[in-house]
Structure 1
């Protein structure tokens, strides 16, 4: 809990990313966290963790201390992550392309708001693009529903994540939590000149339909309106320097799991996640094959958009206009047999068809319609067509 002194000096202490003076203690805590050590050994040393769990945890603790022995700042921690990111790109992607970043001022902070397909990789690819361009990385908005384990919270906040409250109960508590969040976002952009990444909606777009929730825009501008209740919403939006970002994956390592969830929601009205399912999705997203990945930065949104709905519509226009459609998207639409007028095979090769067929063959028959829809829906969505529920 935050003390009254801390709250007065640092009103965002409970939700902000960790600062440099908190790095050493956090890394020491992580190196001794039994749950983290168990998770690491089960993933990296499965046989040893089963036969000699105490030995495997000791090895994992030693490895963490060795890897982080010279890390004393957030920037140094992220430099270590960048090396892992480069390795991941080499092993799990065929190509990574970035457009639009060179049109944005390198010394100006922006609030990047993007479509959301992968829990950790969407902001990770944004960060990697910024890192390659020698720009400062972003602070990342992450829902507290993902922070059920202390070690996950520590890792995320070390990596410049700040916490979005989704578990607050009661209208007054929610309003207070969102006002604090809005105040922190404004502080980061205007006072710290530090960019932020946020998703355009709560949760991943598991069905491949990218739409901005206007409630996100209301939250972002709450602090501005609290200072001046008569201020136009567009004024608050302009001060945050919102820049839409579109990310597109040729293949989603979590596509089968998403199809399973979509089927359950459609047929049973809901889906119950297992305790560690989000963590499993993070690991699968990082390690699974993604094919080609395309990231495009849009242009800042000005004050002429003066309602949450108008701002959301402009974000959607840019995200969908900048979204890169890969052969997998068109081949999925062809397999579904709908919207034949939208098919474009000009860049589809025989190798693309073979790779798509191999992926589809791994999908259980009862999940194939939901699996295909994930890839086909962006084609329909980008064309401005309505997608049947």
Structure 2
């Protein structure tokens, strides 16, 4: 038994049997009806028989699912920066995190279409408690981040995950996606948690920290949705935090959020692959040899890239102006776009609650604040 068995995705030789076991599950049926709306059940059941690897499943089924999602709930996906990546190189994509399923699914569709190495992707085990979702996640090359552990268990789990990521990148030449923080950003402030970098560094062994991070080939990834389909669902947690209250999720909240993210309107979406971190890391090594300070500096480099390359949409500028009762950024949107956003605001939340309205607007406005603040600091 491998030490990675509790967290790893399926090996290719396990794929067909796992797929056959869930082939007639009602949720698989719903997923395939959505993916292949003009085909009957026999079509995908026959297709499943010839699928013997994760790559087969992603190419033949899941990529089509994501194309249908884009077709039905967005106005298109655009990209930039991927032309700078090498088709034979495995990268560690450290990404801002807005949507449970789509962030990594959209990245993998882009990588597939551009002939780049697709990712193994981290997902919290709390999100795949149902057996069907667990199997589907492993069929999509997800590996599990174990939640709710004691401090001692957490340390061991982090070490195993660090080694697994290192093996994927260096032994399997497999790219990896990981969020810059635990859980999705709820307030629009994309910031890298140092704990994520500490986890990655556990596998560094005898290497210097900077040499190890250089070997990971880190690509900061900026994902920008014009409309966040789960914006209203994030509000209760944001409100609880503002009141210093402990937020307790409903039993089916994660599943509801997954469905809303997949099916909810997103309008335009943009993914930007930042430059591979190389000389920036060498500069950190020259600045300090203190490991904590080095980790802080690396986190800041990732943040700067994600914020600078985040595509600001009219919705972001509108939210900023509404929040600040200004017309500071009115050149970036039309009156019609503003009215549509205000209508969305009224439909999604009770805008008579001032704190709720301000929190909703801040979620969209903070990327504007952060980008222009960074630019001001650089002047």
Q: Give yes or no for TM over 0.5.
A: yes
Match of 2:7 among 2, 11, 15: 15
- 1:174 equivalent to 2:146? Answer no
Match of 1:347 among 332, 335, 359: 332
Q: Secondary structure at the match of 1:112?
A: strand
Rate the CA distance shift 1:43–1:353 in 2: closer, same or farther, 3 A.
farther
C-alpha distance in structure 2 between counterparts of 1:271 and 1:61, whole Å? 41
Moved over 3 A (4+): 38-45, 60-67
Is the CA contact (8 Å cut-off) linking 2:229 and 2:260 kept in structure 1? Answer: yes
Match of 1:328? 315
Q: Deviations over 1:354-384 (max 9, x none)?
A: 3212211202223322211110111112223
Match of 1:208? 188
Is the CA contact (8 Å cut-off) linking 1:101 and 1:297 kept in structure 2? Answer: yes
Shift of residue 39 of structure 1?
9.0
C-alpha distance in structure 2 between counterparts of 1:43 and 1:267, whole Å? 43
C-alpha distance in structure 2 between counterparts of 1:326 and 1:38, whole Å? 34
Shift of residue 152 of structure 1?
1.3
Is the CA contact (8 Å cut-off) linking 2:181 and 2:193 kept in structure 1? Answer: yes
Rate the CA distance shift 1:190–1:176 in 2: closer, same or farther, 3 A.
same
Q: Secondary structure at the match of 1:117?
A: coil
Q: Deviations over 1:6-29 (max 9, x none)?
A: 22xxx3222111121111121122
C-alpha distance in structure 1 between counterparts of 2:30 and 2:115, whole Å? 34
Match of 1:30? 22
Is the CA contact (8 Å cut-off) linking 1:244 and 1:300 kept in structure 2? Answer: yes
C-alpha distance in structure 1 between counterparts of 2:241 and 2:197, whole Å? 27
Q: For structure 1, which segment, 255-264 or 192-201, has the greater mean C-alpha deviation from structure 2 after superposition?
A: 255-264
Match of 2:49 among 55, 59, 69: 69
Structure 1 vs Structure 2 CA RMSD: 2.4
Shift of residue 268 of structure 1?
5.9
Q: Secondary structure at the match of 2:49?
A: coil
Q: Secondary structure at the match of 2:94?
A: strand
Match of 2:232? 256
Is the CA contact (8 Å cut-off) linking 2:314 and 2:337 kept in structure 1? Answer: yes
- 1:186 equivalent to 2:166? Answer yes
Shift of residue 90 of structure 1?
1.3
Shift of residue 176 of structure 1?
1.6
How many pairs were matched up? 353
Is the CA contact (8 Å cut-off) linking 2:90 and 2:117 kept in structure 1? Answer: no
Is the CA contact (8 Å cut-off) linking 1:144 and 1:167 kept in structure 2? Answer: no
Rate the CA distance shift 1:41–1:167 in 2: closer, same or farther, 3 A.
same
C-alpha distance in structure 2 between counterparts of 1:64 and 1:308, whole Å? 47
Rate the CA distance shift 1:154–1:64 in 2: closer, same or farther, 3 A.
farther
Shift of residue 309 of structure 1?
0.5
C-alpha distance in structure 2 between counterparts of 1:69 and 1:135, whole Å? 27
